[in-house]
Structure 1
């Protein structure tokens, strides 16, 4: 009998009574509730949901937050997303206002391969509820141009093309930790003139390096998303924005550009992190986001 009881106790310790799909934490890694996230989001000007693109928990929670904010905001919610580029705004607007079908949207816009499973539920809810949806990202061909030739290449574009991005000339601070990490990462992966030691020894050469242009390509995306967020945000509204986690974590990227234009803007950020054990959170930075979405590392992926 004692052996049987001991085995039962061991099983109880080995298997938890609950297996949550996610946990929410504060920047100090204190447990938070979804209700608190919703309250803070409801009072914000901009909510930046930093997602992991292939994580189903992110996409599910994005949809739930959209639904609950729409109920709370009573018609003053706006959506925005990295996944739609500025030159596809007409196609997106036509869909959410009911003028076109999903097939027409797919034909007219450059949709991500996982759009149907991961973003269509949000777009369909926006259509049902008549929620404005902003295509905030720079067209990818222009970000690619910056990555290949630098920011000066944008000067050659037409006036129409320049209307699809943040106003030029663009200020990029490559000393910001996020962009600096990109430089170091590319150096660590074998770029001849982008190694960390080379950056320290020859900063002028580093400024002209492929790694620097790669970081600037990230910056034109961040700046453009911030620009179109502010262009479409009116007093009393909340704009819920979906973007890859790197674009807003550590309050950099989009956040930095938002605050360059509106220092007093109220921004709430959420950073998604996969962890071996969400009940014992560990993060790379002590100031990652207002809310940290901790997800089991073995969570099923959407692609």
Structure 2
């Protein structure tokens, strides 16, 4: 009896399933491959990689996709990121073009605390490969202004400040899933009243969603401003900015892109799951590609 039991145990160990670090799914949650993602990304005008900011798999896959797209596009790749604010563009450009050091970049730009571990590899690759890298986000002080006082507060800014954001006024539909979801998470209509651009009364919860919207609109604006036909613009942003084909996507659709055809936009949404082999129906139609990551994956911060 001992020999058959030993053989069974050896057989079971030999054929244990692998433990993949991630899985990719279609919008309908059918399993798909990185090769399909890469082919579709190379054919897209804009790729919005919705990341989880502290997840190493997201950052590793962003780096792999950057390298592989550069090999395919051969000079027609442009990078952009939420993590760089528009007024830091000169500092980012100087670094990517090799005019300054990493220490100077850190001194001149407001880098995220996890820059060295999570964003420096792709930034350094852009520097090595001479890939344009665009700071797409609105300066955070202006987003905070909206969260406190509403969009009307931006009208009081000087002209130079307004160049660092999407042209005003912007339209915000608070009934869209992304913005409504934010408001619901913050308690719906609870909060202190503040005047909106139309003079009616709303609350701090709605202004928080409007601050998200000015970020989305600004990222879309700088993506379009720096994209040309034939290029692929690979953009890194928090998942909430592009999931459900919303946020940045909606503003990209609103703004003219200087082309006769609609933009080809590809989205990636990152989700953490206890079992990445069981994506669950709640994750349907989040994006063109759903990136499933183990919930117990180690974090970068």
Residue aligning to 1:199? none
Answer yes or no: is 1:239 the counterpart of 2:233.
yes
Residue aligning to 1:275? 273
- Aligned with 2:168: secondary structure? coil
How many equivalent residue pairs? 292
Answer yes or no: is 1:145 the counterpart of 2:139.
no
Residue 193 of structure 1 contacts residue 206 of structure 1 at CA under 8 Å; is this kept in 2? no
Residue aligning to 1:65? 65
Structure 1 residues 117-170: Cα deviation after superposition (integer angstroms, max 9, x where no partner): 000000000000000000000000000000000000000000000000000011
With structure 2 as the length reference, what TM-score do the two structures score?
0.92
Residue aligning to 1:28? 28
Question: C-alpha displacement at 1:210, in angstroms?
Answer: 0.7
Question: C-alpha displacement at 1:225, in angstroms?
Answer: 0.1
- Aligned with 2:24: secondary structure? strand
Residue aligning to 1:191? 190
Residue 187 of structure 1 contacts residue 193 of structure 1 at CA under 8 Å; is this kept in 2? no
Task: Provide the C-alpha distance between the structure 1 equivalents of 2:16 and 2:199, rounded to a whole number of angstroms.
Answer: 55
- Aligned with 2:187: secondary structure? helix
Residue aligning to 1:227? 221
Residue 22 of structure 1 contacts residue 295 of structure 1 at CA under 8 Å; is this kept in 2? yes
Answer yes or no: is 1:121 the counterpart of 2:115.
no
Task: Provide the C-alpha distance between the structure 2 equivalents of 1:239 and 1:193, rounded to a whole number of angstroms.
Answer: 40
Aligned CA RMSD, in angstroms, stands at: 2.2
Residue aligning to 1:201? none
Question: C-alpha displacement at 1:207, in angstroms?
Answer: 5.8
1:200-211 equivalences in 2 (<5 Å): 208-211=202-205
Residue aligning to 1:38? 38
Residue 95 of structure 2 contacts residue 102 of structure 2 at CA under 8 Å; is this kept in 1? yes
Which stretches in structure 1 are left out of the alignment for 5+ residues?
Answer: 195-203
Residue 191 of structure 2 contacts residue 203 of structure 2 at CA under 8 Å; is this kept in 1? no
Residue 25 of structure 2 contacts residue 31 of structure 2 at CA under 8 Å; is this kept in 1? yes
Residue aligning to 2:9? 8
Question: C-alpha displacement at 1:193, in angstroms?
Answer: 6.8
Task: Provide the C-alpha distance between the structure 2 equivalents of 1:297 and 1:96, rounded to a whole number of angstroms.
Answer: 34
Residue 53 of structure 2 contacts residue 238 of structure 2 at CA under 8 Å; is this kept in 1? yes
Residue 46 of structure 2 contacts residue 266 of structure 2 at CA under 8 Å; is this kept in 1? yes
Gap change, CA 1:232 and 1:205, over 3 Å in 2: closer
